[in-house]
Amino acid sequence: MSDRLLVLVRHGQSEWNLKNLFTGWRDVDLTDEGVAEALRAGRSLKAQGLRFDVSFTSVLKRAQRTLDIMLKELGQENLPVLRDQALNERDYGDLVGLNKDDARKRWGDEQVLKWRRSYDIAPPGGESLRDTAARVLPYYIKEILPRVLRGERVLVAAHGNSLRALVMVLDRHTTESIIKLNIDTGVPLIYRLNADSTVAEKRDLAA
């Protein structure tokens, strides 16, 4: 898997993941479990014998700290890191800071599920997955994909929905199938791409 390697990792459990709160762009830190998940992710990548040429992350500390922990485990603390808000979690708008169970009681399970998982339905004042993809995918195409296609090994630490937007394209999900996709915290997804940028191989290190 030395050529055209792309590894995606959602940040470890955050303080607001633990509290079951909508987080979005709120800059919360990792929990102790989140740190442990990042450590495990780094160790699992090391166990695969992987080394990287460059890394990408968002401007939010939970993703940055996850990346730092993984790079330390890999012995690659000096790896170039490119940070951009294009890779931030989706903005949950008026839902930020609300408990998800309380939101379900207020608006109903079906409506909250649409806000959380659908492709094109945005929460009040926030972004849909389509809106998130509108910033993630151009950044991927301009900054990340060319490096992968040149044969660089690329590590991306980001968020549940910024990665869902990217995985939707990589795995060719439909607007219906993407509703069922959840990306677990701290679990590396290893892709090897073809020269035409399609997926040649995918491995989920949770398996």
Active site residues: 11, 89
pLDDT band at 205 (very low <50, low <70, confident <90, very high): confident
Residue 206 pLDDT: 78
84: closest CA among 43, 142, 128? 142
Residue-range definition of the domain harbouring residue 156: 5-204
Phi-psi region of 201 (alpha: psi -120 to 50; beta: other; left: phi over 0): beta
User: What is the count of structural domains for the chain?
Assistant: 1
CA–CA dist 196, 62 (Å, integer):
32
Looking at residue 182, its amino acid is N
Give yes or no for residue 2 having a pLDDT over 60.
no
Q: Where is pLDDT greater, at 205 or 28?
A: 28
Give yes or no for residue 207 having a pLDDT over 90.
no
Beta-carbon neighbour count of residue 4 at 10 Å?
A: 23
Using the structure block, give the residue that is written with the tokens 């301009």. Answer: 142
What CATH number did the domain enclosing 52 receive?
3.40.50.1240
DSSP 105-167: HHH-HHHHHHHHH-SS-PPTTS--HHHHHHHHHHHIIIIIHHHHHTT-EEEEEE-HHHHHHHH
CA–CA dist 141, 128 (Å, integer):
20
Q: What is the pLDDT of residues 55-85, one digit of tens each?
A: 999 999 999 999 999 999 999 999 999 999 9
CA–CA dist 120, 136 (Å, integer):
15
Q: What is the pLDDT of residues 144-185, one digit of tens each?
A: 999 999 999 999 999 999 999 999 999 999 999 998 899 999
Please report which helix (H) or strand (E) contains residue 191, including its range. Answer: strand 189-193
